[in-house]
Amino acid sequence: MNFDKEISILVKVATSEIDFLNKILEGYEGTALVTTENPQEGLVRLYTALSMKTMLLELLQKLPREVKVIDITE
């Protein structure tokens, strides 16, 4: 069995938009596991498979809210 490597993407959103981001990604089931790292600063970490990286980054760019990518750990 060949499993895809897991990566994490740290993003920053307005604190009022954390729930919005979580709900959107829940709707794209299997895209990413969402963990709020620092709710006061709007820092959210997204865990996903390496094969989903491009699709997830494109999705984040198309959202009607600002999502700033801080770091990608592969």
Hey, what domains does the chain have and what are their CATH numbers? 6-73 (3.30.70)
Dihedral, 49, 68, 60, 38 alpha carbons, nearest 10: 60
Return the pLDDT at 3. Answer: 66
**pLDDT in the model for residue 33:** 95
Along the 74 residues of the chain, how does pLDDT read in single tens digits?
456 899 999 999 999 999 999 999 999 988 999 999 999 999 999 999 999 999 999 999 999 999 999 999 99
- pTM summary value: 0.91
Q: Strand pairing partners for 69?
A: 11
Residue 7 structure tokens: 């990566």
Q: What is the C-alpha separation between 67 and 3, in angstroms, rounded? A: 28
Q: What is d(CA 9, CA 26) in angstroms, rounded to the nearest whole number?
A: 16
Spatial separation of the C-alpha atoms in residues 34 and 31, rounded to whole Å: 10
